Structure 1
Amino acid sequence: MKSTILCAVAATLFALFPTLASAQENEDAEPRWSIAIHGGAGTLDPDRMTPERRAAYEAALQQALDAGSEILANGGSAMDAVQAAIIPMEDNPLFNAGRGAVFTWEGTNELDASIMDGRDRSAGAVTGVTTVRNPILLADRVRTGSPHVFLMGEGAEQFAVEQGFEVTPPEWFATEARRRSLERMRAEALSALDVDHKFGTVGAVALDMDGNLAAGTSTGGMTGKRWGRIGDAPVIGAGTYADNRSCAVSATGWGEYFIRVGVAQEICTRLRIGYNRETFTGREALTELERVLNTMRSQRPNKSFQQTVIDSVMAEVAELGGDGGVILVTPEGHALFSFNTTGMYRGRATSDGVNEVAIFGGHVEAEASETPDH
């Protein structure tokens, strides 16, 4: 009887996933890599975006995407690719990270960043730094060069100096456009959302040819932030998370809500549970079912399931009153997005030939045949 049930289960699973028959062929396939990036999400109006400004954003996204893709295509690590993709966005005043970061209420630029390695779930994060040109590099140094995960303010900057980071003067980060946003906010008693209309946080997630995942996020926070406010970007589990067993996620949005939901880890946890759901009881049944499920996982789990999980977590953010978006890469190389705003600056590239950047439109799944909306 038990054997009959198992055969029926296996037959059903193979009927639902016909590619399982080519499991051996998949083992001989070339190693795959994948990367996704974002440059913020928010209330973006296509009618108010000039062709020149749109071209500038698309060029900046492509530059970041190319930097990360080159690392992966040459066999480099996901961790190196994530940093390579984020650095040019931190240096570009179009984005709210590094140079071009928004101003606090006191008129300073305070920077946050975090990074996580999916191999061992080691992580590093910094918040409130003002003298480090590329905070994502400092976050990684916290991960590799200290016994800690999260450093803040003066202590993080002291650590940076001890680690050989150059002190970057405040004028490097300041831009006139961001200063005007702060002045308008003060003069008209507006909220940060009224001034910015978007969240310019930057991030990247990647899968390398060794099957390792990584995620990183960097931001200047919200215009006019006060009292040492910290958003989700430097918070491991909220704005950044990577776990080889499930996914790598970087988020952008209204940080308070992403923290409350624990967006990044929540997505990875739901996917991991979904991958390993035990439907039957009994050791023999579980052993056989595990064999079948392992074969399924080797054939790229269903993207519609993965997208549903991502969208459901973002729906929780919306239900609480928050908005924003996420990028995600899975162990199978799927590069996915989800956002509940009118747009999200984003891009993705894979070893299957996908290479595209986009600003408007809804969530998309990674298929080489799709047409980007740029």
Structure 2
Amino acid sequence: MSFSKRICLLIGIIIMSISELSSGSAQAGESGVASYRLVIHGGAGTILRENMTPEKEQAYRAKLEEALRAGQAVLKDGGEALDAVAAAIHVMEDSPLFNAGRGAVFTHEGRNEMDASIMDGRDLNAGAVTGVTRIKHPIDLAREVMVHSRHVMLAGSGAEEFAAEQGMDFVNPDYFRTQRRWDQLQNALKNDELSLDHTEEDFDVIEGVDPEDPDHKFGTVGAVALDVRGNLAAGTSTGGMTNKRYHRIGDSPIIGAGTYADNNSCGVSATGHGEFFIRATVARSICALMEYKGLSLQEAADEIIMKKLVKMGGDGGIIALDPKGNVTMTFNTPGMYRGYISEQGEPKVFIYKD
């Protein structure tokens, strides 16, 4: 091989190496910092400014900001989207303000049964658990299922048996008990009603709203992250319905309904009336509209949340990210606890529709 050919070959190898190193990284923003995004939700429902006390509003805003900061701490140091999702959800699972983990609602029998799911947009790997009662962070068990099992979803005692095999820490079921949630159950039992979060206990006064109407309150927490390598991940965690029976399962642990992530389209976490979200396969449908019809993230979210779900009679919302870092927080209820953060550094938190 001639000297000139060897030089050309060497230059080609160098160019290919540089391309491979950069192909998995998100583009840097104007500040020169690699781009990342994190968006979270803490439930949707009839959340009105006039019905919220200043103290309660501040408590929700502070906890949402804390969750965003926890996820940002992972992403800004080049951490993975999956780790950021888990970090943000941990904060909300630990807070009695939300219907997940320590704030989970009670079943008809007086138990806290929790569901969670997580998905990796790189390879469509996913894990989910339902009906767990002794796992402090259900989102972590969902991730263990994804990484260390041959399955996608495990339920109840089987999920907890698997958790023990993985060396996970257990807590006494009383850890999840809060008086507010217990009182909600007693009210639901008295009226023989099912109810989803958020209920009247979240506010000072809610005039003209039936506190047991399931169309008026939804609770669940979720997060979607885009890391500096351009990878998406999504996760969702919930306590389900107050007064639910027969080990009812909603959309939160169901891949494609409450959670979905694909680097080729988007990452989604949902909150709402789970039966409708399951039937509409909400999370996957939004990604599919982007992948197969070429819709933008916002167009796809509007098509499913503002049109299809409304036509079906389903209420709730979603948070989502696409690979370019576009964010949507779309809901058809009066409010949704939500927020996002990026490499710019300051969390943006919202509660009401306006």
Secondary structure, aligned partner of 1:192: coil
Letter in 1 for 2:311: E
Does 1:185 pair with 2:188?
A: yes
Q: How do 1:127-166 residues align onto structure 2 when only pairs under 5 Å count? A: 127-166=130-169
Aligned counterpart, 1:357: 349
Query: What are the residue-to-residue correspondences of 1:1-374 with 2, within 5 Å?
Result: 30=32, 31-193=34-196, 194-195=211-212, 197-275=216-294, 305-314=296-305, 315-353=307-345, 355-361=347-353
State the distance in 2 between where 1:172 and 1:156 align.
19
SS in 2 for 1:57: helix
AA aligned to 1:243 is D
Superposition deviation, residue 354 in structure 1 = 5.5
Question: What letter corresponds to residue 358 of structure 1 in structure 2?
Answer: F
Cα distance in structure 1, aligned partners of 2:115 and 2:179: 21
Query: What is the Cα deviation at residue 188 of structure 1?
Result: 2.0
Task: State the one-letter code of the partner of 2:117.
Answer: S
Alignment-mate amino acid for residue 234 of structure 2: A
Q: Which runs of 5+ in 2 are unaligned?
A: 1-25, 197-210
Number of equivalent positions? 309
Which consecutive residues of structure 1, in runs of 5 or more, have no partner in the other structure?
A: 1-25, 276-301, 363-374
Output the TM-score relative to the length of structure 1.
0.80
2-structure distance, mates of 1:70, 1:254: 32
The code of the aligned residue for 1:117 comes to D
2:218 and 2:28 map into 1 onto residues whose CA distance is 42
Query: How far, CA to CA, are the matches of 2:146 and 2:351 in structure 1?
Result: 32
Instruction: State how far apart, in whole Å, the 2-side matches of 1:147 and 1:226 are.
Output: 29
TM-superposed CA distance for 1:306, in Å, is 2.4
- Whether the 8 Å contact between 2:297 and 2:321 is mirrored in structure 1 is no
Identity between Structure 1 and Structure 2 (%): 54
Alpha-carbon distance, 1:350 to partner: 1.2
Q: Secondary structure at the match of 1:53?
A: helix
Looking at structure 1, the residues matched to 28 and 136 of structure 2 have their Cα atoms a distance apart, in angstroms, of 43
Q: Is the 8 A contact 2:28 2:35 kept in 1?
A: no
Q: Could you tell me how far apart the structure 2 residues matched to 1:28 and 1:75 are?
A: 13
Looking at structure 2, the residues matched to 146 and 27 of structure 1 have their Cα atoms a distance apart, in angstroms, of 34
What is the TM-score of this pair, normalised by structure 2? 0.85
